[in-house]
Structure 1
Amino acid sequence: MSSVRRVLLIDLLGGLGDLIMVLPSVHALADAHPDAELTVLTQAPSVPLLARDPAVAAARTAEQRDERAAVEQALADLAPDLTVTTTRFDGIGDLVEADAAARGTRAVANLWRSPPADELVGERYQRILAAEGVIADEVRPPRVVLGDDERAAGRAALVQAWGPRWRSSSGNPPARFDSAPTVLVPDAGMAVKRWPARRWAELAATLPGPVLSVGPVDGATELPPTDLRGLAAVFAAVGEAGGTVVGPDAGAVRLAAAVGARAVALFGPTAASRYGLEEGTNLQGLPECPHRMPTAITEQVCWWDAGCPLAPEPACLLDLPVERVREAVAPGG
């Protein structure tokens, strides 16, 4: 039986996808230390993901540019027996290690040690934690927990969005599309990760079955705005209906996979071998790009301003033709 009573996991990397990649480690820590209270310290926009997760006793937030102070406060308030952090900037890794040394507790403060270019980030986290002896040696995929009421609301939202193509059937869920729906998620949060808008429109025009979108796409029916958990519930309903969510390397497509939807992710500047989905289809554009740095993506020449040295637009994304994406979404369809 574990003697750990308080666990603090720190993920302040800033993105929704970053928290989703660490969720398997959260769940593994909860399983390994069943009598412990597990607290997650992360940025506020991602906290709703944890709202109904039985593994998480509490969530704390940190404001941007004030992350170190939030870590200091969490360590002082919680006095954790075990601290795990994905975050090392601003001396946070050193702070966590020093706190553990001063109190005689455990810390795993460098989950980015010697990263190979061909190991998925979330799986790398788990293997390091297992090697440190703080979780079981079992790699698992991300899961976001939804309540039955949320899943029902997601189905209802999908019915409302595409009522003309929806018909009743028996069982659970109690309704389904005549043909599997596809949801397109064009935005990526960063210009360097965006597949061209004209290609999204061409994809929408050639897909069989209902085509919906998160945000505007010519030729697709736009889903009504909702919050993060509402979007997760809609994605879960898409999965139940046998549908697919397509998007760039960003949090939304990771969220879809984490609630059980089939997902197709488009990778340009980032390496799918390192940042790909654990479950789903990862399409890598221009795999031989000489400027890609799989273990140091923020140092790539294109990263911050999408200025590609090979083409007027990111050449890696131009290397993903509509036909290839369509075949991944609807093989032979």
Structure 2
Amino acid sequence: MEHPRQPTALVLRALHLGDLLVAVPALRALRRALPEHRIVLATPGALAPLVGLVGTVDELLPTAAPEELTWPAAPDVAVNLHGTGPQSHRALDATRPARRIGYRAEGWPGPPPDEIAANHTHERERWCAVLAAHGIPADPADLRLPPPPGSRLRHGHAPVLVHAGARFGAKRWPAARFAEVAAALHCAVSPVLLTGTADERDLALAVARRAGIAEARVLAGRTDLAELCGLVAGSALVVSGDTGIAHLAAAFGTPSVTLYGPVGPQRWGPPADGPHAVLDVPAARRGDPFGDDPDPALLAIGVGDVLRAAAALRGRYVPGLLTT
């Protein structure tokens, strides 16, 4: 006796760590709306540990960009969580789906991008609104992830993570300022660890030297994504610019201080009701997120601002964290 073929929903989100995390509420909504479907997520293969924690995806299809998307058979549903098109729409159209879910475009029913942008500021809210327009209710607050298996939850001498890097210079606060923050926060109760990618290791080492922190505490380039998730989930505090690790802190409910520059927290920031402090000086903003040098809004944030925010979080969420 032949078993009925399981329907497939092919979802495109071929972007980076933070981009995947803001799409978590939408992915969970799809799982609830399509319980009989096999959900295939086209996203970079390096994000596999994170996809596993989301818990709603049946298969990861390694895809670094829309033009790399390939799928052998026409999916029953194609879901564009990548962008407004046209490249992402064309990539999914090439798979010949029976049903299309995404922003409105030729051959795609759905809400116009301008309408969503006018009524919803945050990226999480926008994707939930797109699904809602297709009759799929979604809760933008449904973003929390369970801690990774084997991770040490916050207790005892939980570390403070200081992350000085960012993908573009416009979002990189000066290393000298990160060093002052790291030196002030580093103590026996909550030792500082410096995180980052392999490309950011020299930056993290420079911050450590200026802060008087041992090189052994520089983890930049020494952790994979699964290990970084465990670190963030078990830390007392994360201090960073507007980059992927800030989204991890929001996902795990880890207290965080995030510094915003060319783009404000209204679009990509953590939930307002969580243990998070956002530092933002919108009046100084230049607004080029791909610039080579720090945005003036980022430079308008001082070391004292960061330490005061950390101290305020200490009083509410991080017992034992010392600041000066």
Corresponding position of 2:132: 130
Corresponding position of 1:113: 113
Preserved contact between residue 191 and residue 305 of structure 1 (Cα < 8 Å): yes
Corresponding position of 1:79: 75
Preserved contact between residue 276 and residue 282 of structure 1 (Cα < 8 Å): no
Superposed, which structure 2 residues align to 1:54-65 within 5 Å? 54-64=55-65
Write the deviation string for residues 58-88 of structure 1: whole angstroms up to 9, x where unpaired: 0011245xx3241xx22x4351334233234
Corresponding position of 2:292: 305
Counterparts in 2 of 1:200 and 1:117: CA distance versus 1, 3 Å: farther
Preserved contact between residue 192 and residue 303 of structure 1 (Cα < 8 Å): yes
Instruction: Give the Cα separation in 1 of the matches to 2:54 and 2:138.
Output: 22
Corresponding position of 2:178: 200
Instruction: Give the Cα separation in 2 of the matches to 1:93 and 1:205.
Output: 48
Which is further off, 83-92 or 48-57? 83-92
Q: Does 1:252 align with 2:232?
A: no
Counterparts in 2 of 1:99 and 1:107: CA distance versus 1, 3 Å: farther
> How far off is 1:272 after superposition?
1.3
> How far off is 1:145 after superposition?
4.3
Instruction: Give the Cα separation in 2 of the matches to 1:116 and 1:269.
Output: 20
TM-score normalised to the size of structure 2?
0.76
* Same amino acid, percent of matched pairs: 25
> How far off is 1:182 after superposition?
1.9
Paired residue secondary structure (1:129): helix
Preserved contact between residue 146 and residue 233 of structure 1 (Cα < 8 Å): yes
Paired residue secondary structure (1:258): helix
> How far off is 1:235 after superposition?
1.1
Counterparts in 2 of 1:254 and 1:123: CA distance versus 1, 3 Å: same
Which is further off, 192-201 or 273-282? 273-282
Q: Does 1:91 align with 2:92?
A: no
Paired residue secondary structure (1:288): helix
Preserved contact between residue 49 and residue 229 of structure 1 (Cα < 8 Å): yes
Counterparts in 2 of 1:103 and 1:229: CA distance versus 1, 3 Å: closer
> How far off is 1:52 after superposition?
4.5
Preserved contact between residue 13 and residue 41 of structure 2 (Cα < 8 Å): yes
Which is further off, 189-198 or 269-278? 269-278
- Residue identity matched to 1:304: G
Which is further off, 113-122 or 318-327? 113-122
Q: Does 1:233 align with 2:230?
A: yes
Write the deviation string for residues 19-57 of structure 1: whole angstroms up to 9, x where unpaired: 111112111211222222111101233233113543110
Paired residue secondary structure (2:61): strand
Instruction: Give the Cα separation in 2 of the matches to 1:264 and 1:290.
Output: 19
Instruction: Give the Cα separation in 2 of the matches to 1:286 and 1:229.
Output: 33
Corresponding position of 1:176: 156
Instruction: Give the Cα separation in 1 of the matches to 2:148 and 2:193.
Output: 24
Preserved contact between residue 11 and residue 41 of structure 2 (Cα < 8 Å): yes
Paired residue secondary structure (2:113): coil
> How far off is 1:233 after superposition?
0.6
Instruction: Give the Cα separation in 2 of the matches to 1:290 and 1:196.
Output: 16
Corresponding position of 1:50: 51
> How far off is 1:282 after superposition?
4.8
Instruction: Give the Cα separation in 1 of the matches to 2:17 and 2:232.
Output: 15
Output the aligned Cα RMSD: 2.9
Preserved contact between residue 86 and residue 109 of structure 1 (Cα < 8 Å): no
> How far off is 1:266 after superposition?
0.8
- Where does structure 2 lack aligned partners over 5 or more consecutive residues? 1-5, 105-110, 196-203, 316-322
Counterparts in 2 of 1:112 and 1:232: CA distance versus 1, 3 Å: farther
Write the deviation string for residues 228-271 of structure 1: whole angstroms up to 9, x where unpaired: 01110111111xxxx11111111112112212311221100112
> How far off is 1:330 after superposition?
1.6
Preserved contact between residue 268 and residue 316 of structure 1 (Cα < 8 Å): yes
TM-score normalised to the size of structure 1?
0.74
Corresponding position of 2:11: 9
